Chains A and B, each alone.
Chain A
């Protein structure tokens, strides 16, 4: 095993690297620290491509032409990696070499909006029951509902409104629903980083 000059006694020594492919590369590959960081990075990878496998059509099967530059960009922007993780991938794709192919087929955006709505419905612990996500590139809305009964998990809905809502001022906007009904439009909130 290579001697490691970076501190790696405890997990906390590795925190910044757990979300950074660039920092992972600074650790020798035969060291436990490298493997521990690799395990963490794989989960960011799987969270993206297992849920939105269409994106692999853009990147190629290993996903790395999206994953590496996105994670570096997210690091610069200090993105929180909350439920909006997928939406930020779309924001990045939209200014990348993949832009034209991304915008040519609505399936990528639908998949990304549904993934973020589902992530909100799984992870959010606030009192809201649902989230509505809108995008300047479509008039469709995606709603994520939290688990509302013992036997039913979270639910995701695609809505094509007859009278479209005003477009959010950024690429994405969202609002949350205090009950299990879509009966309010309080205006769009922008994504927090």
Chain B
């Protein structure tokens, strides 16, 4: 058999193909009625872990929760409201959270940088912060919240609508540096921000490179014009979201990387599997087992 030397470009391609695939895929588990579906996604190998919206389950026994899924678990906090709540409330919230951290040994703990209310009145569509004017305030709250919980927390980026959203990438970069916090980078939120206020994908490069944990979901347009894109978790992945992931694939993928596919509405098994397959094709089947994910945590 004759062997031909490969041209340089192909040789590189060959080498990168051999690189370990590491991105694990997960599904968000927010309420009991998707339990069977999440189990099936796991059994059929479409996902490698589950992300619990953990404060929805604060009245479920931590051991019951730990036994419910035989897979690694990520924790996503929805209503700590750590920017607005007083310290005793946060201390109590963290005390309950710690019971679940102890029982579940999660891959990560994540939360949101959001406004839940204005002058004591609740938003039903949550508000984005002012990245430049509120930086110091948020930084101090993040430090305090991580201190109360007793561990590093990964904070999710917002699906920006108004133009101030372009300041988010620099804000999160600075926040990571100053507080040691992680970013739970929601790729489709960045797509919404790109569509709504022109935030360049490349502005997120350092954030994505530093992040280990990711979200992705569908979005939809507003019902009235001028159209804005809304992070709805009810649709299939959009072409521009998939392009973004493909273009930045090597920045996303890294040891211990996870990507949670979020779906909270129009929960149809086949449609979800179709999207998960697209993500698998894009990132490849991770070459380490579930076990390694727990260990790398």
Contact = CB atoms under 8 A, between A and B. Distances in A.
Interface of A: 1, 8-16, 18-19, 29-33, 35-36, 38-40, 42-44, 47, 78-82, 122-123, 125, 127, 129, 146-153, 180
Contact of A150 (B64, B131, B223): B64
Interface in B210-232: 222-228, 230
Contacts of A13: 162
Interface of B: 31-33, 35, 55-60, 64-65, 68, 79-80, 92-93, 96, 115, 117-125, 127-131, 133, 160-165, 196, 222-228, 230
Contact of A147 (B56, B115, B224, B230): B56
A149 B130 contact: no
Given A8-B162, A30-B225, A151 B120 contact: no
Given A10-B130, A30-B225, A82 B64 contact: no
A123 B164 CA distance: 29
A160 B189 CA distance: 47
Given A44-B124, A149-B64, 6 more contacts: A12-B129, A13-B162, A15-B115, A30-B226, A38-B224, A80-B121
A39 B127 CA distance: 12
A16 B118 contact: yes
Contacts of A123: 79
Nearest to A128: B59
Nearest to B69: A150
B59 A150 contact: no
Contacts of A78: 119-121
A32 B221 CA distance: 12
B12 to A, nearest CB: 44
A47 B122 CA distance: 13
Nearest to A42: B223
B127 A32 contact: no
Contacts of A39: 125, 161, 222, 228, 230
Contacts of B122: 80-82
A114 to B, nearest CB: 17
Nearest to B61: A149
A10 B128 contact: yes
A80 B196 CA distance: 29
A129 B65 CA distance: 17
B127 A12 contact: yes
Nearest to A16: B118
12 contacts: A11-B164, A19-B121, A35-B222, A35-B224, A38-B222, A39-B228, A80-B117, A80-B121, A146-B58, A148-B59, A148-B60, A150-B32
